[in-house]
Structure 1
Amino acid sequence: MHPLLPRLLSLDLALPPLPHTLGLLLLVGIAIKNNGVVPLPESVKPGLTFATKTVLQTGIVCVAAKLSFFELLSTGSSGIPVVLGAVGAGLVTIPMMGTFAGLPRKMSLLLTAGTSICGVTAITALAPAIEAEKRDVAVAVANTVAFGTVGMLAYPYIFNALCTSSEQVGMCLGVAIHDTSQVLGSAMSYRETFDDEIALRVAAVTKLTRNLGLAIAIPMLTFIHKKEVGAGEVKSSYEDTMSGLATFKKYVPPFLVAFIGMAGLRSTGDLIMDPEVNQLYFEAVSFVGSDLSKYALGTAMAGVGLSTDAASLKGVGWKPFAVGGAGALIVGGTGFTIASMIV
C-alpha cells in the first residue's frame, strides 16, 4: 500500500454518513419558493443567478481536490474495468430508455449523467452545458436522491449476501450508488455492521475513479445534445467551424477544464509533498475538496430550488422515475457482474 493512502482516504472519508444534503437543500428551496404566502422579492434574483452558475461551477471544481490520479491508478487499477463497464452501460442504455419513454431529451441526458457518473454533481455540471430547464434539473436531482438513498440503505446487506470478497463488495458499492456522500455513507455502514475496513477503502477509491468520468461524459453528452438540436446550432458561424478553440469551448465548458486542472494539481501535490512535513497542504486539500465543495454545491442547490416553480413540475408523471430506477439497476447490475468475474 502506498504510504499516502491512509491519509488520503481519511480526508475523503470526512463526509458524514447521512442522506444526501444537496437534495434536501433543493427541496427546501422549492418549498420556500412555492410557499404560497410570501413571494420571493425581485431583489434576490441576481443572487440566485450567481449561486446557480458561478457558485455551482466553483463547487464542482473544488470536488476535484479529492481526486488524485496517482492514487487512483496505483490503488484502484483493479476496479477500472468495473467502473468502465458500469458507467458505459449507463451512458448507452439510459438515453435509449428515455427516448422510449418519451422523456424530454435534456431530462434524459441529465438522468444519464446523474445515474452513471456521480449524482447531483454530474447533473449540475451538465445542466448549464445543455441549457437544461429548472424542471429537468429538479426531476433528475430527485431521482438521484431517491434511488441513491435507497441504495445506500439496502446495498450493504444485498452485496454482503451476494459478493464473495471484501474487494468485490467495495467495488459494487462504489458503482451502484449515485453520489460520493451516499457511497461513503453506505460503505461506513457496511464497515460498522460487518467489521470490514477493506470494503470501505475499496468503495472510496472506486467511487473517486468513477467521478473522473465527469471529464469525459460531460463533453460527450454536450456534443450529443448539440448534434441533435440541428446543424444550425452546432455550427453557428463559419468562424466557429474553422476555429478549433471555439469548437473546444462549445463542447468542453471552461469550468470542466478547471476541474481537470484541480485534479492535476492535487495529483502533483500528492507526489511531492511529505505528509509528515506538509500538514498544511493536506488540511487545505481536505477543506477545499470536502468542506468548500459541500458549501458551494449546497448554496447552488438551494439557489436552484429557490428558482424552481412547482407548477413546472406538474405533469412530470412516473416515467422519469421508472427510467432512473431502471438505469440505476443496470449500472449497479453491470458493476456487480464484472466485479464477480474479475475479483
Structure 2
Amino acid sequence: MPLGAALCLLPFVSTGVALLAGLCVALTAGNPFAGTTRALTPRLLSLAVVGLGAGMDLRTVLAAGREGLGYTVVGIALCLTLGVGLARLLGVPRVTGLLISVGTAICGGSAIAAVVPVLRPQAHETSVALGTVFLLNAVALFVFPVVGHAVGLTPHQFGLWCAMAIHDTSSVVGAALRYGPEALAVATPVKLARALWILPLTVGLAAWRRSEGHAVTGRVRRPWFIAGFLGAAAVVTLFPVLAPVGQGVAAVARQLLVVTLFLLGAGLTRETLRAVGLRPLAQAVALWLLMAGLCLGALRLGWAA
C-alpha cells in the first residue's frame, strides 16, 4: 500500500491508472491500512482541491460557478425527487435510500458523512450507501471521458456534465483532468458550487427529522476546502507575478489527486462490496444513469450551455 501510493506521485501515473491500481490492491492482497486510508483520503482531496485553485484565474472560476448555479439547484431537486421515488419503487429502506439520494445529488461520500448525524442511520446503512457511491465513482472515472469523446462534447460541455452527474469531487476532477485543462477549469468550480449545498440540505433534513420527533446529534461538517480553493485562485489572480508559482502548486496538487484516487480505489474492499445489497445498488445505478442521461441530453439539445 505505501509503495503503491508513493509510485502514484510519479508524473506519468494518471488518475485512471491510480484508481485501477488501488482497486487491484484492495481486491487481491487486501488493504491492511483501511482505517488510515479512510482518514487520509478526504484530507488529501481537500489539499488537492485547494492547490488546483492556485492554477486558475478567479474570474474564470467565478464565471463558471455562476453559470452552473441554476443547473445545480435544478439538478439537486430533481435528483432527490427521483431518488426517493426509486427507493420506494424498489423497496429500499427509507434511510438507506435517502443516503444514496443525497450522495448522488450533491457530492457522494462527503454529503453522506455530513447527514449521518442528522439521519442517524445504522452502521450497515451507511456502509451500503458509501459502497454504492465508491463503486459508481470508480466506473464514472473511466466511462465519462469515453462517452464524452464518443458524443463529441466540447471540453466546456464535458466539464459541466462531470460536475452535474458524477458523485464525488475526486472523480469529477479526475475525469475532467483526463479530458483536458479547459474541462478541469469548468468542472471544479461548478462541482464546488454543488458541494456548498451540503449545508442548507443538512439543516433542512435536521428540521424535518425534528418535526417527526427524531433526535439530531453531531455537528455539520463544513466544506472549508471550497474557501481555500477560492482563496488560492484569488491570490494568483490579484498578484500575476505569482502565476508561475501557482502553476507549480497546481501541478503538485494534480499529482496529489492521483494519490487520492489510489487511496479511494484501495478503500473499495471485498467487505465493502459485500455490504452493498442488490436493491440499494439498483436504486443507485438507476438514479445515476437517469441523472447522467438527463444532463447529457440537456447539453446535447442546447438547454445547458
Please tell me the TM-score bracket, short chain as reference.
0.5 to 0.7
- How far 1:176 sits from its partner (Å)? 3.0
Establish whether residue 271 from structure 1 lines up as the match of residue 237 from structure 2.
Answer: yes
**Structure 2 unmatched ranges of 5 or more:** 1-10
Aligned position for 1:244: none
Bigger drift between 203-212 and 155-164 goes to 155-164
TM-score by length of 1: 0.62
Alpha-carbon spacing, 1:278–1:206, altered in 2? closer, same or farther (3 Å) = closer
Counterpart Cα distance in 1 of 2:201 and 2:244: 38
- How far 1:233 sits from its partner (Å)? 1.4
Work out whether residues 107 and 140 of structure 1, in 8 Å CA contact, stay in contact via their aligned partners in 2: yes
Q: Secondary structure at the match of 1:252?
A: coil
Establish whether residue 172 from structure 1 lines up as the match of residue 138 from structure 2.
Answer: no
Establish whether residue 58 from structure 1 lines up as the match of residue 56 from structure 2.
Answer: no
Establish whether residue 252 from structure 1 lines up as the match of residue 237 from structure 2.
Answer: no
State the one-letter code of the partner of 1:94. G
Aligned position for 1:21: 19
Counterpart Cα distance in 2 of 1:162 and 1:311: 31
Give the alignment of 1:1-343 within 5 angstroms.
16-18=14-16, 21=19, 24=22, 28=26, 32=30, 48=35, 52=38, 55=40, 58-59=43-44, 61-65=46-50, 66-67=52-53, 70-75=59-64, 77-127=66-116, 130-160=119-149, 162=151, 167-183=156-172, 186-187=175-176, 201-202=182-183, 204-221=185-202, 223-224=204-205, 227-228=208-209, 230-231=212-213, 233-234=215-216, 252-253=220-221, 256=222, 258-274=224-240, 276-277=241-242, 279-284=244-249, 287=252, 289-290=253-254, 313=275, 316-339=276-299, 340=301, 341-343=303-305
Work out whether residues 110 and 137 of structure 1, in 8 Å CA contact, stay in contact via their aligned partners in 2: yes
State the one-letter code of the partner of 1:18. G
- How far 1:325 sits from its partner (Å)? 1.1
TM-score by length of 2: 0.68
Bigger drift between 21-30 and 200-209 goes to 21-30
- How far 1:319 sits from its partner (Å)? 0.9
- How far 1:322 sits from its partner (Å)? 1.1
Aligned position for 1:245: none
Counterpart Cα distance in 1 of 2:24 and 2:121: 16
Counterpart Cα distance in 2 of 1:132 and 1:294: 31
Q: Encode CA deviations 1:278-298: one digit per residue, 9 max, x unaligned.
A: 6445544554x5455665786
- How far 1:214 sits from its partner (Å)? 1.8
Counterpart Cα distance in 2 of 1:224 and 1:100: 22
Alpha-carbon spacing, 1:28–1:56, altered in 2? closer, same or farther (3 Å) = same
Alpha-carbon spacing, 1:89–1:210, altered in 2? closer, same or farther (3 Å) = farther
Aligned position for 1:4: none
Larger Rg: 1
Aligned position for 1:3: none
Work out whether residues 219 and 252 of structure 1, in 8 Å CA contact, stay in contact via their aligned partners in 2: no
How many residues align? The count is 288
- How far 1:201 sits from its partner (Å)? 1.5
Bigger drift between 277-286 and 320-329 goes to 277-286
Q: Secondary structure at the match of 1:18?
A: helix
Q: Secondary structure at the match of 2:106?
A: helix
Work out whether residues 72 and 194 of structure 2, in 8 Å CA contact, stay in contact via their aligned partners in 1: no
- How far 1:326 sits from its partner (Å)? 1.4
Work out whether residues 87 and 94 of structure 2, in 8 Å CA contact, stay in contact via their aligned partners in 1: yes
**Structure 1 unmatched ranges of 5 or more:** 1-12, 34-39, 192-196, 237-249
Counterpart Cα distance in 1 of 2:153 and 2:46: 37
Work out whether residues 82 and 171 of structure 1, in 8 Å CA contact, stay in contact via their aligned partners in 2: no
Work out whether residues 59 and 294 of structure 1, in 8 Å CA contact, stay in contact via their aligned partners in 2: no
Work out whether residues 141 and 175 of structure 2, in 8 Å CA contact, stay in contact via their aligned partners in 1: yes
Work out whether residues 135 and 312 of structure 1, in 8 Å CA contact, stay in contact via their aligned partners in 2: no
- Aligned-pair Cα RMSD in Å: 4.5
